[in-house]
Amino acid sequence: MNGTSPHLHLPISVRLIMFKVLAALVPGIAVYVWFFGAAILVQIALASAAALAGEAAMLRLRGKPVGLFLSDGSALVTAWLIALTFPPIAPWWLTVSATLFAIVVAKHLYGGLGQNPFNPAMVAFCVSIIAFPALMSKWPAVGFTDFSAQMAVVFQSQSAQDAVTMATPLDALRTQLHVPEARATVAGVLGSHASFGNIGGKGWEWIALAYLLGGLWLLQQRVITWHVPVAFLGVLALIAGGFSLANPDRYAGPVFHVVTGGAMLGAFFILTDPVSGATTPRGKLIFAAGVALLAWIIRTFGAYPDGMAFGVLLMNLCVPLIDMGTQPPVFGHKDEQKGGTP
Partner 1 sequence: MLASLFKFRGGVKPASHKDESTRAPIVRAPLPARLVVPLRQSAGGTPLPLVKAGQKVLKGERIGAPEGSFSAAIHAPTSGTVLSIEHRMLPHPSGLSAPCVVIEPDGEERWIERVPANYAAESPDALRDLLRDSGIVGLGGATFPSHLKLKPGASGRIGNLIVNGAECEPWITCDDLLMRERAGDIVRGIAILRHIASAERVLIGIEDNKPQAIAAMRAATARSEGIEVVPVPTRYPAGGEKQLIRVLTGIEIPYGRIGPEFGVQCFNVGTAWSVHRAVELGEPLVSRIVTLTGNVERPGNFEVLIGTPIDDLLALVGPKGDTDRYVMGGPMMGFTLPRTDLPVTKAANCILAASPALFPPPGQEMPCIRCGACTRACPAELQPHELYWFSRAKNFGKAQEYHIFDCIECGCCAYVCPSNIRLVDYYRFAKTSMRALEREKNASDAARLRFEFRNFRTEREQKEKAERLAAKTAAARQAIAGGEKPAAAAPSPAAAEQTPALPHLDEAKKALIAAAVERARAQKEGVQPKNTDNLAPEKQAEIREIEARRAKVREIAKTPPEEPV
- Per CB under 8 A, which region of 45-53, 101-109, 248-256, 321-329 contacts partner 1? 321-329
**According to the binding rule CB under 8 A, does residue 181 interact with partner 1?**
no
Q: Of 13, 106, 92, whose CA–CA distance to 47 is shortest? A: 92
How buried is residue 4: exposed, middle or buried, by Cβ count under 10 Å (0-12/13-18/19+)?
A: exposed
Phi-psi region of 116 (alpha: psi -120 to 50; beta: other; left: phi over 0): beta
Gap between the Cα atoms of 111 and 273, Å rounded: 16
**According to the binding rule CB under 8 A, does residue 117 interact with partner 1?**
no
**According to the binding rule CB under 8 A, does residue 63 interact with partner 1?**
no
Q: Give the CA dihedral 272, 277, 281, 286, nearest 10 degrees.
A: -100
**According to the binding rule CB under 8 A, does residue 191 interact with partner 1?**
no
Question: Site residues for partner 1, window 233-292 (CB under 8 A)?
Answer: 274-275, 277, 279-280
**Least CB distance from residue 231 to partner 1, whole Å?**
15
Gap between the Cα atoms of 53 and 75, Å rounded: 10
- Per CB under 8 A, which region of 164-172, 191-199, 300-308, 334-342 contacts partner 1? 334-342
The pattern of x and - marking residues 201 through 230 that bind partner 1 according to CB under 8 A reads ------------------------x-----
For 38, the 3-state DSSP assignment is coil
**According to the binding rule CB under 8 A, does residue 6 interact with partner 1?**
yes
Nearer to partner 1, 208 or 319 (CB): 319
User: In this structure, are residues 94 and 86 in contact, taking their beta carbons and an 8 Å threshold?
Assistant: yes
- Per CB under 8 A, which region of 11-19, 82-90, 169-177, 248-256 contacts partner 1? 11-19
- Angle, nearest 10°, between helix axes 74-85 and 92-101? 140
How buried is residue 63: exposed, middle or buried, by Cβ count under 10 Å (0-12/13-18/19+)?
A: exposed
Gap between the Cα atoms of 264 and 103, Å rounded: 24
Q: Of 214, 175, 216, whose CA–CA distance to 26 is shortest? A: 214
**According to the binding rule CB under 8 A, does residue 13 interact with partner 1?**
yes
Nearer to partner 1, 29 or 122 (CB): 122
Nearer to partner 1, 11 or 180 (CB): 11
Size of the site for partner 1 (CB under 8 A): 45
**According to the binding rule CB under 8 A, does residue 293 interact with partner 1?**
no
**Least CB distance from residue 124 to partner 1, whole Å?**
19
Binding residues for partner 1, per CB under 8 A?
Answer: 1-14, 16-17, 65, 68-69, 72, 74, 112-115, 225, 274-275, 277, 279-280, 323, 327-334, 336, 339-342
